[in-house]
Structure 1
């Protein structure tokens, strides 16, 4: 996916999260392990969000590979350590499709 398309999907995901009571903490957080698209908080839980877009839910969600998930978790651990965060957290995905947007919570389960 091109960077421009990725940015559009991330903007849509941020709007969706805001509409659903999340607060956007940071976007595009990098570590040497990888990148977190969006860090959001809701109800005192920090959400590390991977944004995926595609023509269908299946195609989009399949792009979250074990390797991608591992990088997300390592980057989140670096972020929490650096920021002294020790509260609750969750790894989620926001799937941006042509007609809908869905959030998938706890993608590590």
Structure 2
């Protein structure tokens, strides 16, 4: 597997563990709808969170969360709409971003709630 794919998978694994430690129930990982993908769909209390995970090994070109542009947000929202329809969800929703910076010895994780607004 390409190194950037390994890094992304590691970041998603760390993000999922982080969310579970915070009391979230992971419902789906890598949900796909047409040309879009939601990295993690999780539930906590009565909120359904659609979570984009961005992982970097250095921040020379910017922080990971800065790479969730308007096009990516639109695709995630379209996939979320389909998931909500498919599961007949009637509760609150939220769009989050988890930023993961992995260095040789550590992983720094930042959870940005309501990141799209």
TM range (shorter): over 0.9
TM-score when normalising by structure 1: 0.93
Alpha-carbon RMSD? 1.3
What count of residue pairs does the alignment treat as equivalent? 108
C-alpha distance in 2, partners of 1:106/1:59? 17
Larger Rg: 2
Unmatched 5+ stretches in structure 2: none
C-alpha distance in 1, partners of 2:109/2:14? 8
Per the alignment, residue 103 of structure 1 pairs with 111
Moved over 2 A (4+): none
Unmatched 5+ stretches in structure 1: none
Q: Classify the secondary structure of the residue corresponding to 2:23.
A: coil
The one-character-per-residue Cα deviations of 1:35-66 (angstroms, maximum 9, x if unpaired) are: 0000001111000000001223x431111000
TM-score when normalising by structure 2: 0.87
